[in-house]
Amino acid sequence: MSNIGAIKESIDLASIVESAGVLLNRSGFGLCPFHDEKTASFKAYPDNHFKCFGCGEHGDVIDFVQKLYGLSFPDALKHLGIEQGRITPEIKRSIEQRKRKAELVGRFRLWVSRYLAHLGTMINRTDKLMKGIPPGDLERYAPLLHGLPVWKHHSDILLYGTDEEKHKLYKEAQQCRNRILT
């Protein structure tokens, strides 16, 4: 394998694609940056190549940078921080930083989906329970019903809130989890 080939394999295409503003789902699909579309047809593969099933664009990480920014091969290498066939320490740090950020974003998205599912279950079960409680027994169930507004508020934040509100809720949940574990 050539030196350039080894370098291409060492660069995380998903990180480069996401740094260009393309949001990828867990399967590596996202909206193609090369044409307008409403349904994701662009796929970034783990072996560092891409293909758009809508417009047909495909290639490796260097091809992606060349096509996206209209660069020549040498300029694409410079854009990726590759000088004379090697990755500079600066771009290596940048790649590692993007990988860590992508990992954190992935963990956050997983937490959101799991917490939303849990909240939905709790809200539905509590609503169902409330319908079957005779009016005279409401006091007996008050501790359980007390959580309902909080669960609905958390659900609203995760569905409709700002990124800052979601992040704050995530941090609070992590702190609560840490207190329980210690």
Other beta carbons within 10 Å of 2: 8
Residue with tokens 């293909």: 51
Q: Which domain holds residue 56?
A: 3-86
Based on the domain organization, do 105 and 77 belong to the same domain?
no
Whether this model's pTM surpasses 0.85: no
Spatial neighbors of 40 by CB under 8 A, at least 6 apart, are 25, 29, 30, 31, 32
Based on the domain organization, do 52 and 119 belong to the same domain?
no
Residue with tokens 């771009």: 91
Residue 40 resides in a domain: yes
- pLDDT tens for each residue of 66-112: 999 999 988 888 887 776 556 667 767 777 777 788 778 878 888 88
Residue 152 resides in a domain: yes
How many structural domains comprise the chain? 2
Based on the domain organization, do 80 and 107 belong to the same domain?
no
Q: What percent of the chain has pLDDT over 70?
A: 91
DSSP code, position 8? H
Based on the domain organization, do 11 and 73 belong to the same domain?
yes
- Asked if the model's pLDDT at residue 175 lies above 90, the reply is no
Q: What is the CATH number of the domain that holds 9?
A: 3.90.580.10
Based on the domain organization, do 52 and 109 belong to the same domain?
no
